[in-house]
Structure 1
Amino acid sequence: MIIAIILAILVIVAIFKKGIPTLHAHWNTLIDEFDYSTKDFYEKLTEELKSHGIEKIRITSKLISTGNAMSRKRLYLRVSWKNYTYDCCLAPYGKGTFISWWMYSKKTGFELLVSKIPFVGGYLVRAFFPVTYYTVDTSSMFMTYAQSSVVKVIDDITKEKGVRSLTEADKKPIMRDIFNR
């Protein structure tokens, strides 16, 4: 009886627990001899992201630690949609400006719980949480939407300031296999 209660509690906790993020893609670039306000960039990026009319997008500013709990925090722009999170950073670096983003997806607590079942967890995850065309497409849509917004804002700013714009090679994200189990 006690084992059943403990198991029920674990299942309930797993269902409501936030998932563990898995890196899907990232991107970065350094624009030499360029200085721009982080907050101004985030305002322009927020405006650009909202202009696409995507429903249920959440855009917030987030202070993220640069190291341990006692370290400095850096301001990021966090864009969330479904179980995807996109963190964008603009920061001065030497005489230039560094821009990066990281895209994560989150597995649900229940999926993580199922995956831990000895011997059959992997099979059950593939059976009950399959990677579908829809899953791959929505991930790609969100990443493309966010990346094109960042690149457009950078292009607008560099054009306005008379600075060299990014090359096509500079604009390509680095992909990870998000769906590898």
Structure 2
Amino acid sequence: MNDVIYYFLQYGVYCVWGIIIFIFLKQLFSESLKDHHSNWNTLIDNFDYSPKEFYGRLKTELESHGVSNIRIRQVHINEGGVMSHSRIYLRATWKGYQYDICGAKFGDGFFISWWLLYTNSFWKIIISKIPFIGGWIAKKLYPVTYYTVDSASMFMTYAQASVVKVIEDITKDKGVRALSEADKKPVLNDIFKR
């Protein structure tokens, strides 16, 4: 009986250490696995709308443009750490790009935001961690090309146009002021860092 307890405690300790190491590595790589390309947000004052209905209309709009190999689904994203509440987002993925859209009630309004992220290669992350020269080597082996920037810009423009169209449709239906041209412009990260 003592042997069983001893083995259970020994392997239990290994399991706990394995879980701790897994969480540490996941956190380390999840932060550097994706880079932020651009984002956008707006708040429609005095507007009550269902996030699920917004996501349904947006999914239909995104699929209507005939972009092949796009995947659209709802995901739960934590508000903070591992034990925090999660929020539902609509995620559209295409090639190495991920477009996360949030629609949420906020006060007496409806808040909409999106983030366009692109995935870095696992090897680029590993190489970039080499002290002193890793960043330089990673930039030489995995350069930011015109194709990369153009692909991200195409996906961003397509998705932003879909979000704006759905906003215009739902606000027009309820007689709310449309977004101005300045309100429609996304915020670009330093996409040309090389």
Q: What range describes the TM-score normalised by the shorter chain of this pair? A: 0.7 to 0.9
Indicate whether 1:136 and 2:149 are aligned. yes
2:54 — aligned with what?
A: 41
Moved over 4 A (4+): none
* Unaligned stretches of 5+ residues in structure 1: 1-16
Which residue identity does 1:172 align to in structure 2?
K
2:191 is matched with which residue: 163, 166, 178?
A: 178
Q: Which residue in the other structure is 1:120 paired with?
A: 133
Q: TM-score, normalised by structure 1?
A: 0.85
Larger RCO, structure (CA 8 Å, separation 6 or more): 1
Q: Name 2:121's counterpart in structure 1.
A: 108
Task: Name the CA distance, whole Å, in 2 between partners of 1:145 and 1:27.
Answer: 14
How many angstroms does 1:162 deviate by? Answer: 0.8
Higher CA-based Rg: 2
Matched, 1:51 2:88: no
* Structure with the higher helix share, 1 or 2: 2
* SS, match of residue 142 in structure 1: helix
| Aligned counterpart, 1:158 | 171
RMSD: 1.6
Matched, 1:20 2:33: yes
Partner SS for 2:61: helix
C-alpha separation in 2, matches of 1:131 and 1:84:
14
Q: 1:67 to 1:122 in 2, by over 3 A?
A: closer
Aligned length: 165
User: Structure 1 CA distance, aligned partners of 2:78 and 2:144?
Assistant: 32
Q: Deviations over 1:48-79 (max 9, x none)?
A: 10111111111110111112222221110011
Task: Establish whether residue 61 from structure 1 lines up as the match of residue 74 from structure 2.
Answer: yes
Give me the TM-score of the superposition, normalised by structure 2: 0.80
How far does residue 153 in structure 1 lie from its aligned partner after superposition? 0.4
